[in-house]
Amino acid sequence: MKDIIQRKNKILALFKDPAYVPMREKDIAVLMEVSSEDRPLFKRCLEELLADGAITVSKRGKYQLPELKTLTGVFSSSGHGYGFVHVDGIDGDFFISEKHTGTALHGDTVLIDPYEITHRRRIGEGKSREAVVVDIVKRATDIVVGTYDAAKNHYGFVIPDSNRFDRDIFIPVEDSMGAVDGHKVVVRLSDYGDERRSPQGKIIEILGHSGDPGIDVLAILRAYGMETGFPEKVSKQAGKIPGELIETDYNGREDLRSLTMVTIDGEDTKDIDDAVSLTMDNDLYELGVHIADVTHYVREGSAIDKEALERGTSCYPVDRVIPMLPQKLCNGICSLNEGVDRLALSCFMTISSKGEITDHRFSMTVINTNHKMTYSEVNKIITDHDDGLIKKYSDVADMLIRMHELALLLRRRRRGGGSIDFDLPETEIELDSNGHPLAIHPHERNNATKLIEDFMIAANETVAEHFFWAEIPFVYRIHEKPDIDKVRKLAAFIRNFGYGIKVKDDAVHPKELQKLLAGIEDTPEEALISRLTLRAMQRAKYAMTCEGHFGLALKYYCHFTSPIRRYPDLQIHRIIKEYLRGNLNDARIEHYNKILGDVCQHSSAMERRADEAEREVDKLKKAEYMKDHIGEVFDGVISGVTNWGLYVELPNTVEGLVHISKIEGDYYSYNEDTYELVGAVTGRRYCLGSRIKVICNMVDIGTRAVDFVLADGVE
């Protein structure tokens, strides 16, 4: 893998040489003195560079760097006509005005002219970069979800739910499936329309009436292309899998059924894919992380495997689960349920009293967990020393207390390296039987959740480092350094609170952000600054190259611990098992080199999709909740300041907008240097982090928007 990367870099270096002129493949090979034996590898490097868009080839077969005039990127719609295009490898997005979006829809891969609209300046000149969409490279989807409006006897329209699709879709009556007014429907587009014609489509599914329980969430999931059920072929294949282990399953495995171990999860968790054990060897800890061996049942290339790869991950919207695998696997034979034999892939780590991992080994195992424990139970044992629970779990209580001791050591070691811990509460939404929100509150982490996080991070780091040095194809979890411009903006903002970040050589060390988060702990501005710091970070993703994890301050990291719900983990298990069995021959290595790039890219995209769907459902339920509280007064914190108003976040994590027109008594302008709205007459200032009282004024369920007005001044 390293050899391929080095060769590709040499080719790019040649192309970037000012003296280079476009050449054919054989001429480049001669110039670079490529031997006949290396020609196939050389050809593969050219093909991969072409596929990545790093180089182009003319009709005459001559290779060169792409011209700057057009770039390929992903279009993001604002929902207000205009949009932005993100191009990999270029910092900052290109603004696309409404009249220059063409027929581009949210998520489409598009070809853009990166000049400004006037075509007078190139990239990098001026403060903003604008572009024109000149072509659609690939549509993100041909599926749209919306509400049917039967306009005439011979046709109707579907009004899209998403404001990012801002044109109604024409539906001929023969393509309406008999839908009636108010039906929530799924449409497959047959024509994307243009400046003169509406898009046209065919209804392929009627979800139900808009007000029916659960239809609102189902509509969001369908809009993101998520199916709750599985194809018939997948279900049939899953149905043939035994519900318990059979005799041959035990062959060639280490028997750990006598080793004491527990699972620790949430109260409602059904897909349990990790168990932990701990023994002592004098002053050395022997930590075992035992992960469900999903690959024993999900064979490469099978119908189940192909569907799992397509889904990429499980999705957990507030009222349901969209699993990556059929229920018989994720809640059945692959789930490490209490008191039953299960197959696992185990990672054993020897850890010193300083929290250093001094040795490790991997093994294909058979396990039998002693207890299915919850985070709340374990926290009461290790934090509160609850006598009743210690007695109930007397066979594992001492082990749990030792585990807590070890977790603190691992955490201290990781923090010593600069690991950043974003201790932000997740939102917990309680629903009634009809899916209507009853309460919203933050879901806090405790010592038990942190313990499992620490152990999983240790296992993921150990696995990644081992296979990096083994120099075989692998899937790593990488987190790149933050955007330095965003870090500088963060640094400018936190100076208002008396904090600072050192930026050196256009880079920031994770320890700087770690110190910042430690400094704001238990302060009124903690949640706000934590979120702004998180927003300055890049998004983690999957890659074949081990580029480290900035947030965890680790050189080596992967996802090994959740193969029931993440495809990269399942893919890693296959590689590990072939490695342990000695089956990673040249053919298999070539196979993984060929497929893992696509696995990484697709899994990263599917993770983003699932996250966005979950956030959209949360926003919907938050809007529904606030609709029941119109007219009520809330305490909040200003979480965003723009030239159109103030964003205010409530303690329950709901965020709403105080529009600038609703701030009475003065004319306010936005100061982008200090992130403030400033009154022209009174000089009154509204800035990030200020506490404020607001009244819930209006809620738009369709756009998930919550509008506030000020109750009185800033506290």
pLDDT (tens digit per residue) in 526-544: 777 887 888 888 899 999 9
Q: Tokens 């290339």 correspond to what residue? A: 301
Instruction: Give the model's pLDDT for residue 713.
Output: 52
Distance CA 66, CA 15 (A): 10
pLDDT tens-digit map of 664-702? 777 888 877 667 888 888 888 888 778 899 999 999 998
Distance CA 146, CA 78 (A): 18
Specify whether the CB–CB gap between 681 and 669 falls below 8 A: no
Distance CA 336, CA 365 (A): 12
Q: Tokens 């929902």 correspond to what residue? A: 79
Three-state DSSP class for 235? helix
> What phi-psi label fits residue 355: left (phi over 0), alpha (psi between -120 and 50 degrees) or beta?
left
Distance CA 329, CA 622 (A): 33
Distance CA 100, CA 82 (A): 8
Specify whether the CB–CB gap between 443 and 327 falls below 8 A: no
Distance CA 481, CA 531 (A): 17
Contacts of 447 (CB under 8 A, 6+ apart): 378, 379, 382, 383, 404, 407
Q: How far is CA 298 from the centre of its chain?
A: 24
Distance CA 442, CA 453 (A): 19
CA distances from 226 to 4, 187, 550, 559 (A): 36, 14, 31, 23
Instruction: Give the model's pLDDT for residue 498.
Output: 83
Instruction: Give the model's pLDDT for residue 123.
Output: 37
Distance CA 399, CA 443 (A): 26
176: its two tokens? 């309406």
Run of H or E residues at 681? none
Q: Bridge partners of 264?
A: 373
Q: Tokens 């369709």 correspond to what residue? A: 702
pLDDT tens-digit map of 107-127? 889 988 875 433 333 333 334
Q: Bridge partners of 672?
A: none
Specify whether the CB–CB gap between 668 and 676 falls below 8 A: no
Give the Cβ contact number of residue 501 at 10 Å. Answer: 19
Instruction: Give the model's pLDDT for residue 523.
Output: 78
138: its two tokens? 């690939």
Three-state DSSP class for 37? coil
Run of H or E residues at 422? none
What type of residue is 299? R
What type of residue is 319? D
Give the residue among 650, 651, 657 at the shortest CA–CA distance from 700: 657
Q: Bridge partners of 273?
A: none
Give the residue among 458, 614, 422, 678 at the shortest CA–CA distance from 530: 422
Compute the C-alpha angle 196/202/207, nearest 5°: 125
Interaxial angle between packed helices 586-627 and 215-223, expressed in degrees from 0 to 180 and rounded to the nearest 10: 140
Give the residue among 71, 82, 183 at the shortest CA–CA distance from 135: 71
Instruction: Give the model's pLDDT for residue 135.
Output: 85
Give the residue among 532, 698, 714, 705 at the shortest CA–CA distance from 635: 714
What type of residue is 213? P
Q: Which fold has domain 143-212?
A: OB fold (Dihydrolipoamide Acetyltransferase, E2P) (2.40.50)
First-to-last CA distance in the chain? 58
Predicted structure pTM score: 0.82
How many residues does this entry show for the chain?
715
Run of H or E residues at 520? none
Give the residue among 225, 56, 54 at the shortest CA–CA distance from 139: 225
CA distances from 57 to 28, 50, 266 (A): 13, 8, 54
CATH number assigned to the domain with residue range 71-136, chosen from the 4 options 1.50.10.10, 2.30.110.10, 3.40.50.970, 2.40.50.140: 2.40.50.140
Give the Cβ contact number of residue 197 at 10 Å. Answer: 11
Strand 655-659, strand 705-714: pairing: parallel
User: How do the residues of the chain divide into helix, strand and coil, expressed in percent and rounded to 5?
Assistant: 35, 30, 40
Handedness of CA 608, 609, 612, 618 (dihedral sign): negative
Q: Mark the ranges of the chain whose per-residue pLDDT is less than 70.
A: 1-2, 67-69, 115-128, 423-425, 673-674, 713-715
Classify domain 629-714 by CATH number.
Answer: 2.40.50.140
One DSSP character per residue, 434-454 reads: TS-EEEEEEE---HHHHHHHH
DSSP state letter for 161: S
Helix ranges (DSSP H) in 582-671:
586-627
129: its two tokens? 């970069």
Run of H or E residues at 690? none
Distance CA 657, CA 665 (A): 18
Give the Cβ contact number of residue 341 at 10 Å. Answer: 15
